[in-house]
Structure 1
Amino acid sequence: MTSARRVLIVDDEPDIREGVGRWLNACGYETSVAFDGDAGVAAAHATNPDAILLDVMMPRKDGLQALEELRASPDTSGIPIVMLSASLRDEQRALDAGATFFVHKPYDGKKLVAAVQSAIESS
């Protein structure tokens, strides 16, 4: 039996973390959470998740800064990262910086889970 895939959810909005977590848990994923980019980078190094869901707009260190830091580190450079944002402007910047997928807020739960699954399978 294989263990559940682990997904790190990094978002400063508690409702988003909870909602995304519920969708992923219902589909068999284990989830952990972080509330900003600094905590997300630290959690990624500590837990080595199978994928990361990363919000763009966050205090202190935003998702794009966290993405660049994760991609620059040999320990986290290969982890698939799905970016979340309500801003269409962020999509190309996130993909250019190394995001695996980009999901627009408000997100569709089924599409979000499909993006995570595709990101993990393509890694």
Structure 2
Amino acid sequence: MPPDLWSHVLPEPGRSLKRKSIMAGRRILIVDDEEGFRDGVADLLQMEGYTVSVARDAFEAVRVLPVFRPEVILLDLRMPNLDGEGFLRGMTGLPASRGVPVVLISAKEDLAQIASRTGAAGYLSKPFEAPQLLSLLEKVLPEPRTRRR
């Protein structure tokens, strides 16, 4: 998809939707094969003060997890090679992913059922607006005092 298709998730230029100090340093891993979407969401989250890492597929995410140690994973369900559900099943054996909430992101119609079945912390249907994502992240992020080191 063209990168500008996802530009609507960004706030107006020069405007942040939240106080950066609240989210400063909170670590989010974005796993999505659509470069324009992945980069747009990463830009939004960085403007909000999050620390962001990106992976273009599940295999790259497995390599990033132990190094980056995310506090939340934003996971696309439709990816080549290993889809989001396959990644979720494999995550259970990875020490770096224990207790990390996962937010599913997809245009699939049965997203709510998949989120319920897989134990995801939340889900967002593509396309979505920036405030929806930021609100959901506030809900699923662990309290700062319980953050993993």
Using structure 1 for the length normalisation, give the TM-score: 0.89
Q: 1:88 aligns with which of 88, 95, 109?
A: 109
The one-letter amino acid paired with 2:43 is R
Distance 1:67 1:46 in 2: 18
Number of residue pairs matched by the alignment: 123
Q: Identity of paired residues, percent? A: 34
Structure 1 unaligned regions, length at least 5: none
Q: Which amino acid aligns with 1:53?
A: L
Which range moved further: 27-36 or 93-102? Answer: 93-102
Separation in structure 1 between the aligned mates of residue 71 and residue 55 of structure 2, nearest angstrom: 15
Whole-angstrom distance in 2 between the partners of 1:104 and 1:84: 6
**Deviation of residue 99 (structure 1)?**
0.8
Q: Indicate conservation of the 8 Å contact 1:37/1:62, yes or no.
A: yes
Structure 1 residue aligned with 2:86: 65
Choose the corresponding residue for 1:23, options 19, 44, 57: 44
- 1:4 and 1:29 in contact (8 A); partners too: yes
Displacement of 1:121: 3.5
Alignment RMSD: 2.0
**2:73 touches 2:103 (CA, 8 Å); kept in 1?**
yes
Larger radius of gyration: 2
When normalised by structure 2's length, the TM-score is 0.74
Using the alignment, how far apart are the partners of 2:55 and 2:120 within structure 1? 18
